[in-house]
Amino acid sequence: MTFRSESSSVPSTVLNDGQTIPSLGFGVFLVEEGDTFGAVTTALETGYRHIDTAAIYGNEAEVGRAIREFGVARDEVYVTTKLWNSEQGYDSTLRAFDASLERLGLDRLDLYLIHWPVAQADRFVDTFRAFQKLKAEGRVTSIGVSNFNRDHLERLIAETGETPALNQIELSPNLVQAELRAFHTEHGIATEAWSPLGRGAALTDPTIAAIAAETGRTPAQVIIRWHLQLGNVVIPKSVTPSRIRENFDVFSFELTDEQVRAITALDSGTRVGPDPAEFTAGLI
């Protein structure tokens, strides 16, 4: 049983394994255990059917509880979680997957991602081999990565013979990632944007404000629409009910090509998160 795209009002992105992922999801990084249940419930009430969590966020259990108590059928909600850096390696990955699934209270995951390459540990190839086993067993439907640069992707594909379905990377009007997105397109890897609003920083840009005024939309809606029109899967986070709803109300307007180009031109290469080539948190 896999996610049924026809049951969601959100457009889907088709992955290279033939599965589909809702193009707009709800991210829960930095949502405290205690706040996550309410935020995910509001998201589900609003119509989101795609939740993005991670083992390191400490809120998988509440994500799972919110989905269960909301009562949505398992095949109508798409759940992503991520393997933390300290668990990389074949056997440790299998154990970490079991633990994540148990915390989520699910018997199958839609998408499992290697959270960071941590190439210094040299374990991401073995980790992905464990992902392949989990996929072959039907315990996870799609497998992918996060924060992988081109060289990491090239090595993973060469050594495992499998192209990840998706790479979740930092991507916002401040960090447009043109080269990596082009590599993804060339290899059939879906691009998913984390910190899509630049963790709030992109919302005050004057160009975004001008386009918001032109379209009668909010800055967040303009940025989310820009992601969707670029072909990104996008997972904005908010704990504020009105913003959770605002960020979902992006399917009744379109940006012109000129507006998309003006936003893309804001690229300053500025990250809000760490550089994937250097990030080694959790390395033992």
Q: Does residue 57 have an active-site annotation?
A: yes
Where does this chain touch ligand NDP (CB under 6 A) — which range of 65-73, 93-101, 225-233, 238-246?
A: 238-246
Q: Which of 67, 152, 246, 266 binds ligand NDP (CB under 6 A)?
A: 246
Q: Report the relative pairing of strands 20-22 and 12-14 from DSSP bridges.
A: antiparallel
Binding mask 125-154 for ligand NDP (x = CB under 6 A): ---------------------xx-------
Binding mask 178-197 for ligand NDP (x = CB under 6 A): ----------------xxxx
Which residue's CB atom is positioned nearest to ligand NDP? 27
Cα separation, 78 vs 131, in Å, equals: 18
Q: How far is the CB of 112 from ligand NDP (least distance, A)?
A: 12
The smaller minimum CB distance to ligand NDP, of residues 37 and 194, is found at: 194
Catalogue the active-site residues: 57
Binding site for ligand NDP (CB under 6 A): 27-30, 52, 115, 146-147, 168, 194-200, 203, 220, 235-240, 243, 246-247, 273
